[in-house]
């Protein structure tokens, strides 16, 4: 089973530029979480801070009692072995075959014999659907295949925490749909704690158990997926609708005058309607159920009275129907959430 990741009061700056401040959240053990946010809001920096590759100025990241910010370097190094990291571009070595790319962490960090390495690598290659391509170079395969090879490499050390940095970048909608299903299938197989950074709304809507969002150097929200998907926060509704009207501008947040002008002239097509929440993906036929589903149900029902009314209604509707995700919810009257 995956490991809980507790983030407490994390603040990161580069020189005078504040990236984000006082970020606190918990990635529940074995569940899939997604972090959204406009470009430039520090989502990738957040991933690198979790694994101890970057050092925030304040706060803690606690994993099995080790603080990835402040603990001795030897403890951080050992804890880092619990992670698998899938980089944006796959980060493959261009001169190595896919097999050798995927085998690299095993050869670098273990003393396993080549026969054992081959067994593990071929298992991971089969897991991500790349059988037959192991002898090819990264330049000889498609972007989607490179992504899957990067994911296979992230899995060879049997990580308990998997971080995916924009796994959909450069992929067309069909390949993104396949990748979304692959991520859910992986969670069903290995029960790892997973955090996916993405801009992709299809992944955000169908994959995670939990969702968060960065904006204006702050964590806007993080919690069960229903909280963000029913939120009436202007930045959340703008991002989820993919529209120009709202706090997010082309370069950064809009100034007060622009927002005021938009408020005085609302666009007719932005009339509020029922909020559709699509079902969460389930594992492919033949795979075991995700162990995270039962754990999440118990956890979320335990916090129900602390959630906004619209999210509460969506969750209650979900479990009343006996499903894993709601199909259609309307914000509760006067909820303002």
In this predicted model, what pLDDT tens digit does every residue of 173-202 receive, in sequence order?
888 898 999 999 999 999 999 999 998 888
Structural domain including 253 reads: 235-264+276-329
In a domain, 147, yes or no: yes
What is d(CA 299, CA 291) in angstroms, rounded to the nearest whole number? 13
Mean of the pLDDT values across residues 297-316? 94
Choose the final residue of a domain: 143, 158, 173: 158
| Res. 243 pLDDT band, cuts 50 70 90 | confident
Residue 81: inside a domain, yes or no?
no
Residue 213, in any domain of the structure: no
pLDDT at residue 171, as a whole number = 83
For the chain, how many structural domains are there in total? 2
The whole-number pLDDT of residue 330 equals 39
Which pTM value belongs to this model? 0.86
CA distances from 22 to 60, 181, 191, 226, 285 (A): 10, 33, 29, 23, 42
CA distance 8 to 215: 18
- Residue 54, in any domain of the structure: no
117 falls in which pLDDT band (50, 70, 90)?
Answer: very high
Residue 5: inside a domain: no
Q: Is the residue at 226 inside a domain?
A: no
What is the mean pLDDT of the segment spanning 165-172? 86
- Position 155 pLDDT exceeds 50: yes
Last-in-domain residue among 138, 158, 178: 158
In a domain, residue 314? The reply is yes
Q: Note whether residue 2 is domain-resident.
A: no
Closest CA to 98 of 55, 141, 65: 141
Of 125, 158, 191, the last residue of a domain is 158
pLDDT at 275 over 70: no
Name the helix (H) or strand (E) containing 164.
strand 161-165
Confidence of residue 274 (pLDDT cuts 50, 70, 90): very low
């Amino acid at each position: 089973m995956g490991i809980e990741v507790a983030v407490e009061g994390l603040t990161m700056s580069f020189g005078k530029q504040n990236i984000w401040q006082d970020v606190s959240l918990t990635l529940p053990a074995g569940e899939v979480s997604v972090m959204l946010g406009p470009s430039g809001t520090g989502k990738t920096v957040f991933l690198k801070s979790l694994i101890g590759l970057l050092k925030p100025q304040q706060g803690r990241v606690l994993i099995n009692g080790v603080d990835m910010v402040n603990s001795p370097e030897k403890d951080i190094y050992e804890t880092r072995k619990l992670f698998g990291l899938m980089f944006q571009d796959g980060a493959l070595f261009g001169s190595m075959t896919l097999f050798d790319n995927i085998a690299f962490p095993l050869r670098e960090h273990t003393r396993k014999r080549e026969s054992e390495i081959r067994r593990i690598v071929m298992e991971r290659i089969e897991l991500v659907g790349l059988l037959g391509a192991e002898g090819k170079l990264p330049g000889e395969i498609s972007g989607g295949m490179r992504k899957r090879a990067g994911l296979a490499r992230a899995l060879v050390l049997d990580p308990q925490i998997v971080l995916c940095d924009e796994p959909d970048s450069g992929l067309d909608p069909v390949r993104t749909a396949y990748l979304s299903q692959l991520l859910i299938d992986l969670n069903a197989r290995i029960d790892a704690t997973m955090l996916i950074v993405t801009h992709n709304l299809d992944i955000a809507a169908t994959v995670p158990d939990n969702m968060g969002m960065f904006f204006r150097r702050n964590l806007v929200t993080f919690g069960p997926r229903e909280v963000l998907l029913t939120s009436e926060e202007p930045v959340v509704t703008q991002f989820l609708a993919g529209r120009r009207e709202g706090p997010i501008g082309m370069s950064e947040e809009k100034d007060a005058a622009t927002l005021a002008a938009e408020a005085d002239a609302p666009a007719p097509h932005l009339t509020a309607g029922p909020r559709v929440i699509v079902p969460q993906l389930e594992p492919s036929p033949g795979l075991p159920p995700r162990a995270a589903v039962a754990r999440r149900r118990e956890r979320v029902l335990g916090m129900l009275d602390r959630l906004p009314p619209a999210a509460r209604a969506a969750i209650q509707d979900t479990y009343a129907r006996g499903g894993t995700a709601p199909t259609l919810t309307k914000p509760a009257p006067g909820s303002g959430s």
